[in-house]
Amino acid sequence: MLSQKMKDALNQQVLMEAQSSQAYLAMGSWAEIQPGLKGVTQFFFRHSDEERMHMLKLIHYINERGGFAVVPALEQPALTFVSLKKAFEILFEHEVKVSNSINDLVDMALSEKDYATHNFLQWYVNEQIEEERLARDCNDKLELIGEDKSGLYLFDRDIMTMNGGGKSGF
Ligand code: FEO
């Protein structure tokens, strides 16, 4: 049985995963209308789907442990970006926030001696290592590419394989 405090905190994480999904969906929609970003577009849409899956996993867990998962209202995410680099910077910063939030949940589970939730959260801890790594790789590559159009062409091509390359694949 989850404590009220833990239920509330897990529901906050539901909100965060849902907002992540929306944010990356918006990035996908923006990328889709940019010339030559087919790979990046797929990457963002797939990442959005992954975030929805993260949210669903939490919803089922809360409900299975005697809580009630609240489907949250969402804010409209950023819709346009000054550059692809900026979009990936936002993505990386967002993933760091998610990691911090997961870490706070792990802390809470330990302090409440809720070992089931602690165990459940380990999946998210591992997922965040992978997501941060992938986001950092993308940022590093875009930093190197700068304004080089042929570099961007290769990035767009390679990101399709980077997508499935990690454990989570985003
Ligand atoms: Fe589910 Fe990328 O955090």
- How does pLDDT run across 47-105, given as a tens digit for each residue? 999 999 999 999 999 999 999 999 999 999 999 999 999 999 999 999 999 999 999 99
User: For residue 166, is it within any domain?
Assistant: no
Q: Does the pLDDT of residue 20 top 50, yes or no? A: yes
What pLDDT, on a 0 to 100 scale, did the predictor assign at position 166? 43
If you take atom 2 of ligand 1, which residue's CA is the nearest one? 95
Q: Would you list the DSSP string of the chain? A: ---HHHHHHHHHHHHHHHHHHHHHHHHHHHHHTSTT-HHHHHHHHHHHHHHHHHHHHHHHHHHHTT--PPPPP-PPPP---S-HHHHHHHHHHHHHHHHHHHHHHHHHHHHTT-HHHHHHHHHHHHHHHHHHHHHHHHHHHHHHHTT-HHHHHHHHHHHHHHHHHSSS--
**Ligand 1 nearest atom to the CA of residue 131, by list position:** 2
pLDDT for 115 equals 98
Atom of ligand 1 nearest to the CA of 17: 1
Q: What's the whole-number average pLDDT of the chain?
A: 94
Mean pLDDT of 157-164: 78
Are residues 19 and 94 in contact, defined by beta-carbon separation less than 8 angstroms? no
What is the pLDDT averaged over residues 35-52? 97
Determine, yes or no, domain membership for 103: yes
Spacing, Cα 150 to ligand 1 middle (Å): 30
HSE, CB side, 13 Å, CA atoms: give it for residue 108.
19
Which CA distances in Å does 1 have to 46, 66, 91, 121, 134? 33, 6, 34, 15, 35
**What's the pLDDT at 126?**
97
pLDDT at 79: 98
The answer, yes or no, to whether residue 111 has pLDDT greater than 60, is yes
Instruction: Take atom 1 of ligand 1 and give the residue whose Cα is closest.
Output: 51
User: Is there a domain that residue 154 lies in?
Assistant: yes
Residue 50 alpha carbon, nearest atom of ligand 1: 1
For residue 124, which atom of ligand 1 is closest to its CA? 1
* Residue-range definition of the domain harbouring residue 60: 4-161
Q: Residue 135 Cα, ligand 1 centroid: separation in angstroms?
A: 11
Q: Give the CATH number for residue 25.
A: 1.20.1260.10
pLDDT computed for residue 164 by the predictor: 44
Tell me if 168 is assigned to some domain.
Answer: no
Examine residue 169 and state whether it is found in any structural domain, yes or no. no
Task: Establish if 170 belongs to a structural domain.
Answer: no
CA of 15 relative to ligand 1 center, distance in Å = 11
- d(CA 1, CA 12) in angstroms, rounded, equals 18
Q: What is the pLDDT of residue 137?
A: 96
How far does residue 90's CA lie from ligand 1's centre (Å)? 13
Task: Grade residue 141 by pLDDT with cuts at 50, 70 and 90.
Answer: very high
Identify whether 27 is part of a domain.
yes
Q: What local confidence, expressed as pLDDT, does residue 161 receive? A: 83
pLDDT at 36: 94
Distance from residue 51's CA to the centre of ligand 1 (Å): 5
Structure tokens at 1: 């049985």
Question: From the alpha carbon of 55, which atom of ligand 1 is closest?
Answer: 1
At position 72, the amino acid (one-letter code) is P
What is the pLDDT, as a whole number, of residue 168? 45
Domains of the chain: total: 1
Asked whether residue 66 is domain-assigned, the answer is yes
* Alpha carbon of 111 to ligand 1 centroid (Å): 24
Q: For position 167, what pLDDT does the model report?
A: 46
Quick check: 165 pLDDT over 60? Answer: no
Q: 109: how many CB neighbours lie within 10 A of its CB?
A: 22
Residue 169 pLDDT greater than 50, yes or no: no
d(CA 131, CA 59): 21
